[in-house]
Amino acid sequence: MPAFARIAIVENRASSSAFGRAGEAEAATFLELEGWKILERNFRAGQGEVDIVAARGDTLVFVEVKRWTRYGPADLLDSIDRTKTRRIIETSKLFLAKYRQYRGKHIRYDVLFLPSDGEPQRYEGAFDETV
């Protein structure tokens, strides 16, 4: 592979990563404006990651953030498959094991879609442990 092709791949990954981080920052701000307290961003444990962990009242929410320029909400189903949801759920259990003070909270798994043209769309309770 020519050197310029390798550079382009690295740059695309870096710009994609920065694009994703900017989307997660936007999502965190959106949630904070709704009264959610952001507890963690990019919580990593085991084989998984949760984009945002937030609390409000007696609810603890684990949020998967999707920010796309080319795809729409219909594509969410393809991007958040059974493997992805299992990984998020397992990671949330590791979060609860680490931060025992949140164990009594109502747990919910949301997906927050940030379209390139429009308002954020939240899918509350997008999945649960039965998947």
Single pTM value for the model: 0.81
* CA-based radius of gyration for the chain: 16
pLDDT at 14: 47
Q: What is the pLDDT of residue 114?
A: 86
Can you give the residue ranges of every domain in the chain?
A: 3-127
Confidence of residue 80 (pLDDT cuts 50, 70, 90): confident
Whether 9 has a pLDDT exceeding 80, the answer reads no
Q: State the pLDDT at residue 36.
A: 97
Average pLDDT over residues 109-116: 89
* pLDDT band, very low/low/confident/very high, at 12 (cuts 50, 70, 90): very low
Average pLDDT over residues 60-84: 79
**Average of per-residue pLDDT across 73-92:** 84
Question: Which CATH code of 3.40.1350.10, 3.40.47.10, 3.90.1170.50, 3.60.150.10 fits the domain covering 3-127?
Answer: 3.40.1350.10
